[in-house]
Amino acid sequence: MEEKETKFSFKVISIVLAFLLLISAIPISSMAAGGKITVTDSFVTYKHSVKKPGTDHIFIWDWAYMPMYEINGQEAYCIDPYRSAGSTAEPNYPNSVWWSFSREKREQIALALIYGKPGNFEAINKLIENDPNAETFEKRKQFAYLATKLIIWQYCLDLRDLNTAEVSDSQFSQELLWAFFGRNFEYTVSMQKVYNYIDNLLTTHKTIPSFASKYSSNSPTIKLEWKGDHYEATLKDTNGVLDRFDFSGNHDGVNITQVGNTLTLYTNPGETLKSSEIVISATKEMPVDDTDAQLITWGGDGQDMVTGVNGYADPVPAYFKVAVDTVSLGVEKSSVDYNGVEVQKPDSRYSGLYFKITGTDGTEEILGPTDVNGQIRSGTGVKTIRCQIGETYTIEELGLKNGDSYYLPDNYTKPEPVTYTPSSADAGKVIIKSFTNSGETDLNWKIQKTVVDESGNVYTGKDKLADWYFKITGGNLPPEGLTVGPTDSYGYVDVDFDFRYDTTYTVEELGKMVNDEIVFPDDYIKPENQTASFTKTSQDSYTLQMKFENKYAPNDLIIKKSVVNAEGTQLTKPSSEYSGWYFKVTGGNLPSEGLIVGPTNSNGELSGTVSQLAGTSLKKGTYTVEELGLKSSDGDYYFPDIYSKPENIQTELNNSVETVTVTNTQMKFEYQIQKTITDKDGETISAPSKLHSGLYFKVTAPDGTSTVIGATDEYGKTPAYTVTKTGTYTVEELGTKNSDGSYTLGDEFLNPEKISFEITSADAGKVKTVEFDNDYAEYSYSIKKSIKQSDGSMMTAPNDKLAGWYFEVTSPTGDKTTVGPTDNYGNTNTIEATTGTWTIKELGVVGAEGGYVIPDDYMIPAAKTVNITRENANQTTVFEFVNTMDLHSMVVQKLSEDDKIEGITFYAYMPDGNGGIIKNPVTGQPYEMRAITDKNGLAVFNEVPSGVWIVQEENVPEWYIKPEPQTIIVKGSGAKDFTYSLNADGGMTITGYKGTGGQVDIPSTIDGYPVTEIADYVFNANPHVMSVTIPGTVTKIGQAAFMYASLKTVVLPANLEEIPFSCFAKCPNIRNVYVYGKDTKIDNYAFQGSGFIGINATMYGYTGSPAETYANNNGIKFVSLGTYAANEILNEEETTEAVTEPAETTEEITEETEATEPAETIEATDEVTETTEPTTETVEEPPAEETTESPTETADVPTTEEEAGTLNKKKDDIYYKDESLDVSLPPENEKLSN
């Protein structure tokens, strides 16, 4: 086997060697344990060395053992790398590593056992039996075992491709071989020979002979050559695997001999192939073909192994096809006439003929029929049969087909059969053999039908000339004669038959086809029979013409319908009043039960005359016409109530066509609609009134046509309306009429049901009054207040907290009304309403200083929009508002060296920043509370609103060091610090701020709606706000929203549409403005009066943006953030901050502060917050007023284009940092103590 030049990692070699040495070093017991099978071994001792690829390092082992295992007397192969061999093993071990291999790997290992040892040992033994170093049978067994073992390990270590069986790195495989047997091992040459032999069988396992295919469907076709008396071909296999297949033998007439890599194919002289194409196949021969052979997997206390070999269940087939050159043989017909002149094609005399072709072996095939050109077609080509070269074929004309037999016409002579033997020169060609008949003149007969009236005028219409039949008798015709017809629209019929010369034929006119029977019409005079004969002529074709003339004298009746109204005026045609009528005609030659005709069309006419409708001519006589009326869906005839039935009409037919007009007179009907109205108590609203007037109705007649009537007067009556139909009428109320012609039913009425009324013949000459009643609709609403408590439960009514709430209600017309107060169940009074869209906004309760306020311990619900529709009529619509309480718990723990921690009073209050205490806007009382510690030193403050609280110990004995007050920030829902409203587009607008200041975070959503706008003046002149975080969802900021604020740095989101008038006016400390919107517009007075703008402030923005234009126009330094790119700006989920510098206050706010000796700020969320850390900074108790200096504020902002470019990419960056406001929480182990 040729060695392949590839490279492989030495690391893998080392792994394999480790595997080999490990299993070689473990002694194996020869004792069986627990009924298991004993694993035995023998060893091959050798020296070996391995050179690391790419280096000069050589690893040498002085000795090593290569074990050869056996189980139950069969060689066993390890398949479990990196585990030592055990002393015993169990067959079909359930957890064997064998089953962790893929199906393909298991198949390849099984194939290695088939081509190696034990499956192919007989061939391997012969391969090396003459090698000088393989002189003993035992050595040859070792070589076969070790070579097979090496290949199995290659599969286990994924060194062989599972599809091609190729080794992925042959250089490493050589190194592995040397490591396996030693570079200087005396047996290496014979071992390499065995290894290469098995390797070749594996890599060529799926290879088939070069002239074959793996699939019969696309196998190649081998064309045999004609050698004078037989066919022959020779095939050579260039893949070198033919010796592993057996194609020899006879295959349906093809003999095959196989020598080496050559196949010879030939037929016996005088024999032909049994089919046009023969598929020949063979399957690769395998060393193991015993289906009972079995491969067994073993497992136990050591490596898993396999023994035995399976019979190969996936054969490798090879296919090819054999064919010979053939000739396509066809037949074409020609003919000559009486004078020996060829009949021109196309001609009917060429068609319908059949031929028989008989081969040498007696097989017969029928071709036919021919067409008018004498050809036998198959699709678009000529139909042929396939003939083999060297075989003789006989073609015989059979003639025309009659059932299962064939005949030749009397006036033709039958040609002699023709023989044909294809030669090699004809191979692949289409051979057409021509047959010629000599015949006589083509005899034809044409009969003409004519019709004249009694005056001798000739009819030319199809109805008179078409569809006549004739019978010809005599001559060579059968005894019953030949019926021909029907005539065409010109009265002609051509007769096609094999007529004879000098023979007399008789022609009789039979009549027309009626109900599958030929009868002669009564209104025609039947002509006499005529006779004729053919005389011989030298013409190619002769046509005998015969004319039959009839006289026509019809009788017929035409019925028409006429309708006049109650005033005697005939209704205009067309009209539906004329359609659908039926009549019965009796007398004459009609059946005794008479003939029913109809229906009439919208002009009062039938679809034909009575004779046409009857399907037969009328004879002379008296006929009576009776009007039956209209026809119901179940087939009964009825006469409508609005008509008076006319008398029957009689008329005489005497070779004439009469018209009968049947006239009906309509009766008159009138109706009007009376409108009534009922209120919700069931009382009728009296008329006259405006509610009753101006109403319209749609009335649908029995025939489905609709009419709008109205309007009603003040008494609810419509004008009278005249109709001409009895039956059921449906009334639908439309309402009042709009200027555009449409109708509207006011919401003051409930949608009424349609009503029906009947008009019968009893109503003729009267005005029928139809009452239509409406229920009057009334609308009302009330408001219900609900409160969700801090634990998520709903507050139970009655409760005083549910009482006293007010709401602002905006009607559909824009009128605003204050509704309230609620009672202690949370309900307001019931208020009258109209349909339309209502908006309800919660105002709150009456505050201590008047006006409406929402307590700080409640979250503000969004305004609601509610539609009142007709479905809400006569019931009270309840609008429910739910507030969520925003209260928390705050816990203080007391520690003391003398353990006096119980009964200590702590005082907590909310400073207002001016030395005072913030007051409850509802009660007017200050926000302050006290709590006493328990035995654990815990003081618990309950129902604590969100905000900044100061907590201090009261009545501290003078011998204790007085602890510093603690600042605690209690945080609740961010939305509670704002007032807001819901926009029509589904966004929220921040309309006000009522928080305690510090760092303000505007939420991105409130009540599930995105915050998109900040209204005018929201943070105007607010001295407590230190910074404001603006979410990326905000697209609009109102005028003067930050006017007079102490802002130093302004960072605006990318989605902001405009910086409006005075938005940042009178902000003297602004030094940096970041505009991240590429299209954000800036009003000329947006920064009016801000001192540093235009002096030493810097504006950051994108090149080409309105920000750059504004900076250039106002002399402001501009720094580009680069060219705008969509992925470099804040998206809708990201936030930006507007940072303020707080004004001076008399209170030191300790939220997020850091001093030389910092006071601790502890943020309390909805969970219980415990503070235990002492402070070093004193906050005076109220009400004493002590002015403290605000902490110095410095801005750590980006001042370069690079820093600014980084700023807008990080969602969670703190865009502004005040070094004096750095939050730090106390360590958990520190407590509040004296």
* Residues in CB range of 463: below 8 A, 6 or more apart: none
* Closest C-alpha among 709, 688, 683, 690 to residue 698: 709
pLDDT value for 456: 75
Does 784 share its domain with 764?
no
Strand partners, 919: 926
pLDDT value for 1226: 32
For residue 965, is the peptide bond before it cis, meaning its omega torsion is within 30 degrees of 0?
no
d(CA 1102, CA 1120): 5
Asked whether residue 422 is assigned to any structural domain, the reply reads yes
Q: What does the buried/exposed string (b/e) look like for 548-584 if buried means 16 or more CB atoms within 10 Å of the residue's CB? A: bebebebbbbbbebebebeeeeebeeeeebbbbbbbb
Number of domains in the chain: 8
Q: Which two tokens stand for residue 164?
A: 């091609």
Specify burial of residue 1143 (Cβ count, 10 A radius: 0-12, 13-18, 19+): middle
Beta strand 1036-1037 pairing with 1047-1052: unpaired
DSSP codes, 600-612: --TTSB-SS-HHH
Does 650 share its domain with 674?
no
DSSP 219: P
On whether the CB atoms of residues 345 and 373 are closer than 8 A, the answer is yes
Asked whether residue 298 is assigned to any structural domain, the reply reads no
pLDDT value for 644: 74
Beta strand 88-91 pairing with 295-300: antiparallel
Does 108 share its domain with 29?
yes
Does 412 share its domain with 502?
no
d(CA 1110, CA 1093): 11
Does 784 share its domain with 640?
no
CB atoms within 10 A of CB 435: 21
Within 807-922, where are the H helices? none
- End-to-end C-alpha distance for the chain, whole angstroms: 94
pLDDT value for 338: 56
Asked whether residue 313 is assigned to any structural domain, the reply reads no
CATH (domain of 362): 2.60.40
On whether the CB atoms of residues 554 and 657 are closer than 8 A, the answer is yes
pLDDT value for 978: 81
Specify burial of residue 340 (Cβ count, 10 A radius: 0-12, 13-18, 19+): exposed
Does 189 share its domain with 333?
no
Does 564 share its domain with 494?
no
d(CA 91, CA 71): 10
Q: What averages of pLDDT result for each successive group of 10 residues across the chain (1234 residues)? A: 32 36 31 50 49 49 59 85 75 81 90 90 90 85 86 85 81 59 57 88 91 90 83 91 87 88 87 77 80 77 84 82 84 72 78 87 86 83 80 87 81 78 77 68 75 77 84 85 88 79 83 86 80 65 70 84 85 91 94 94 93 88 93 89 85 86 86 86 84 91 91 91 86 90 82 85 84 83 84 82 91 91 91 87 84 76 80 84 74 77 87 82 82 86 79 80 78 69 83 76 80 90 75 91 81 90 85 88 85 70 92 88 57 42 36 34 40 36 37 36 36 28 30 37
Q: How far lies 264's CA from each of 222, 225, 250, 278, 1015, in Å?
A: 12, 12, 12, 15, 100
Strand partners, 940: 891
On whether the CB atoms of residues 1133 and 1053 are closer than 8 A, the answer is no
Asked whether residue 292 is assigned to any structural domain, the reply reads no
- Residue 665 sits at φ, ψ, to 5 deg, of -115, 130
Domain boundary among 666, 686, 711: 666
CATH (domain of 1197): 3.80.10.10
Does 823 share its domain with 876?
yes
Domain boundary among 775, 792, 814: 775
Q: Which two tokens stand for residue 252?
A: 């349906």
For 439-581, strand residue ranges (E) read 442-453, 468-474, 482-484, 492-495, 504-514, 517-519, 530-533, 541-552, 556-564
Asked whether residue 309 is assigned to any structural domain, the reply reads no
Does 434 share its domain with 417?
yes
Domain of 249, in residue numbers: 216-283
CATH (domain of 720): 2.60.40.10
Does 742 share its domain with 710?
yes
pLDDT value for 82: 65
Beta strand 249-251 pairing with 254-259: antiparallel
On whether the CB atoms of residues 946 and 905 are closer than 8 A, the answer is no
pLDDT in tens, 890-929: 888 887 777 778 888 889 988 877 888 888 777 778 889 9
CA 1055, distance to chain mean position in Å, is 35
Domain boundary among 632, 666, 700: 666
pLDDT value for 1158: 35
Asked whether residue 793 is assigned to any structural domain, the reply reads yes
Asked whether residue 1008 is assigned to any structural domain, the reply reads yes
Prediction pTM value: 0.35
Angle (CA) 903-909-912 rounded to 5° is 165
CA 1221, distance to chain mean position in Å, is 56
Does 656 share its domain with 699?
no
d(CA 603, CA 596): 19
Q: Which two tokens stand for residue 746?
A: 């006011």
Does 350 share its domain with 428?
yes
pLDDT in tens, 99-140: 888 989 988 998 999 999 888 889 999 999 888 878 888 888
Asked whether residue 294 is assigned to any structural domain, the reply reads no
pLDDT value for 956: 77
